[in-house]
Amino acid sequence: MATTNHAANATQHSVIVVMVPLPAQGHLHQFLELARRLASAHNIPVYYVSTVAHVRQAQSRARGWDPLNTPNLNFSEFSVSFDVPPPNPDASIKFPSQLVPAFNSSLQLREPVAELVNNLSSKARKVVVLHDFLTSWIVQDVPKIPNTECYCFHTVSAFLIFSYIWDAARPPVPSEAEVVLKQIPSLEGCNSPELEEFAKKQLQARVFGVGNIFSTSRVIEQLYLDLIEKTYVKDFKHWALGPFNPVEIPIPTPDAEKRRHYSLEWLDKQTENSVIFVSFGSTTSLSEEEIKELAKGLEQSEQRFIWVLRDADKGDIFSGDVRKCQLPEGYEERVAERGIVIRDWAPQLEILGHVATSGFMSHCGWNSCMESISMGVPIAAWPMHSDQPRNALLITKGLKIGISVRVWEKRNEVVPAETIEKVVKTLMASSEGEEMKKRATELKEAVKLSVMDGGAAHKEMESFVAHITR
């Protein structure tokens, strides 16, 4: 194990936090952002634990702050070996099976994590372990260690968590929830058999801790958080600590201005509310046929766009070559006046927060949904796998800030250019799209108020910190 230490050199702390995320980008990001807040704003020593490759990934993709120069934030990285297959854009199930070897490699962290927590428990009054549901196997020995408490950090929507409860038991719910829940899509096609096997292992090792942390805000999902709380025993605690992204884009410093991504300079030249941002996250690869139809649909829509066209992450993003997705010949030249294609890592939050951006065609990963909501941008929902089909339902039918590109039942069909064209025009240039934009803006303002002193999210974080330091 290697530990990068930025904590004070005191031998005794009141409380130390240990974080154990699943080694996938969306999970790594949220844990790192919560680690930053606890370490910086609340002066609590935090140990962020993962494999060498995934600690490096989390650090390299942090935007707007330096994880290696943050007081109280420590990185404990462990060397493990695993296969790194390339993503398969033609797979019948879109789930990124190429990541599962990395997930399985994380199982090797069980003994090192127990040893780390055991060592820290002698230096603190209490060690608080925050773990992903999908890292339950790793932390299963922690409850046997003195002075420890475990909390499960759900990096998905509260709606998704409650949808599983609804699937299993059909508890009574208010009519506004029932009308949405009756439409929840099947889980068929959401995950690969390899992931199902991995998840079963986590379920068998499940740790019954002290409370749940949710990556959401009460101003967005109060209804479903309330329903979840009713299903748990009385003394089990719940906190909604999101969003795990800034709700405002800071004015760049002169140094940051020099390093600004070229897409933001392009956006500066566009008129307000005129651009749709197209990106399917870090775990989706499009087939050649899908790329062709999407390219055609965007061109035919005659709307301005930024399209992030890149393959899904591999288990180790620093190893080997990445496929360069092919566009129709001459495409980029033809659309140059009103569209750009980005083939590297894009500054998503800054693009969504730019005044020129007015729509987001998205896979509906929960991080992307929260960022879009925080920036007041309505969504063209195109779910690919995992939690995304149910997030898409929440966005389109629950919060009513989006439109479907395709229904989940037709997931095995290639979405034709004509459908894409129609959806983009509806979102960007219709009264229906204007209504979605209005609701998204109202939600953005509510989220913004919630994180201010005295707001719901601010109080929630204060409550959580008070509880773990009690």
As given in the structure block, the two tokens for residue 447 are 């989220």
Please give the C-alpha separations between residue 22 and each of 88, 94, 261, 286, 309, in angstroms, as whole numbers.
21, 19, 29, 24, 25
> Is 363 part of the annotated catalytic residue set?
no
- Collapse the DSSP code of 175 into the 3-class scheme (helix H, G, I; strand E, B; otherwise coil) and give the result: helix
Cα-flanking dihedrals φ and ψ of residue 320, to 5°?
70, 180
CB count within 10 Å of CB 196 equals: 12
Q: Would residue 285 be called left, alpha or beta, if left means φ above 0 and alpha means ψ between -120 and 50 degrees?
A: beta
> Is 132 part of the annotated catalytic residue set?
yes
- Of the residues 132, 313, 316, 387, only one is catalytic, namely 132
Q: In what order do the strands lie in the sheet with 124-132?
A: 2-4, 73-78, 46-51, 13-20, 124-132, 148-154, 211-214, 237-240
Cβ neighbors of 121 (< 8 A, separation 6 or more) are 127, 145, 146, 147, 148
Contact 87, 111 (CB under 8 A): no
Q: Where in 196-240 does DSSP place strands (E)?
A: 211-214, 237-240
315: exposed, middle or buried (Cβ count in 10 Å: 0-12, 13-18, 19+): buried
- Of the residues 27, 154, 363, 385, only one is catalytic, namely 27
- d(Cα 319, Cα 188) in Å, to the nearest integer? 32
Nearest alpha carbon to residue 276 among 381, 370, 360, 368: 360
The C-alpha angle 219, 245, 406, rounded to 5 degrees, equals 75
Active site residues per annotation? 27, 132
